[in-house]
Amino acid sequence: MQKEVMFAGFGGQGILSIGKILAHAAMEEGKEVIWIPSYGPEMRGGTAYCMVVISDRKIGSPIIKRPQHLVAMNRPSLDKFAPEVKPEGVILINTSLIPVDAGRSDIDEVKVPASDIANSLGSMRSANIVALSAFTARSGIVEFDTMKQCVKNEFMKKPKVLELNMLAVEEGKNAAVN
C-alpha cells in the first residue's frame, strides 16, 4: 500500500530534515521510498516543503497531486495544502503558529503546539522533531521506535542536540496521543 506525506512550512523550520528522517525510517523497515525536497529561493523564511512517498512495492511516479497526509508547520502551508489531502488522511497542525483548523471533517486532525513544546524544552529548533513524532505516533506510517532510532542516528554526532531531540520525540508522542 502506498502512503504519501507532505511536510510544509517556512525555510529554517527543518521541514526537509524531518522528511528525510521519515524516509530513512521507512527504508529501515524495508519499504520503497521517494523523498522530494522543494524550497523557495529565499531559503530561511521562504517556503519549504517536501513529499515523502512510502510503499511496499515499486513506486510508479514521484509526482503526487493529492497526498494522504500533511504536516503543516505554518498557516500558509495549511491553507495551501490542506484542501488537497485525501479523505481519511492525517493533518498535523502546529497550533503555535496556526490559529485555525483545517476546515475538514473527513480527516484526522492532530493539533500540536510543536513550537511551544520545543521552546519549553529549550530550543525552537526541535519543533520539527516534535511535529514528526506526533505525526508518526498518530498516523502509524512507520513504527514509532524505528522513527525514534532514525532521529537518534541523525543527531548522534551532536550530543547536546541529540539529548534535546530525544526529549522532543517523547513530547511529540505525548502530545499526539493525549
pLDDT at 15: 95
Contacts of 157 (CB under 8 A, 6+ apart): none
pLDDT at 110: 97
What is the strand order of the sheet 32-39 is part of? 32-39, 47-55, 3-10, 69-72, 90-94, 108-112
pLDDT at 117: 98
At residue 63, φ and ψ (nearest 5 deg) are -85, 120
Q: Is 133 helix (H, G, I), strand (E, B) or coil?
A: helix
> Is the four-CA dihedral 108, 69, 50, 48 of positive or negative sign?
negative
Contacts of 76 (CB under 8 A, 6+ apart): 47
Read off the DSSP letter of residue 54: E
Distance of alpha carbon 121 from alpha carbon 159, whole angstroms: 15
Task: List the chain residues with pLDDT less than 70.
Answer: 40-45, 178
Q: Is 140 helix (H, G, I), strand (E, B) or coil?
A: coil
pLDDT at 76: 94
Length of the chain: 178
> What is the grid cell recorded at 15?
521541514
Distance of alpha carbon 109 from alpha carbon 112, whole angstroms: 10
Contacts of 151 (CB under 8 A, 6+ apart): 21, 129, 132, 133, 165, 166, 169
Sorted by where each starts, the structural domains of the chain and their CATH numbers stand as 3-177 (3.40.920.10)
pLDDT at 55: 97
pLDDT at 40: 66
Cβ distance 29 to 49 under 8 Å?
no
pLDDT at 45: 62
The pTM (predicted TM-score) of the whole model is 0.94
pLDDT at 38: 87
Q: Give the CA diameter of the chain.
A: 43
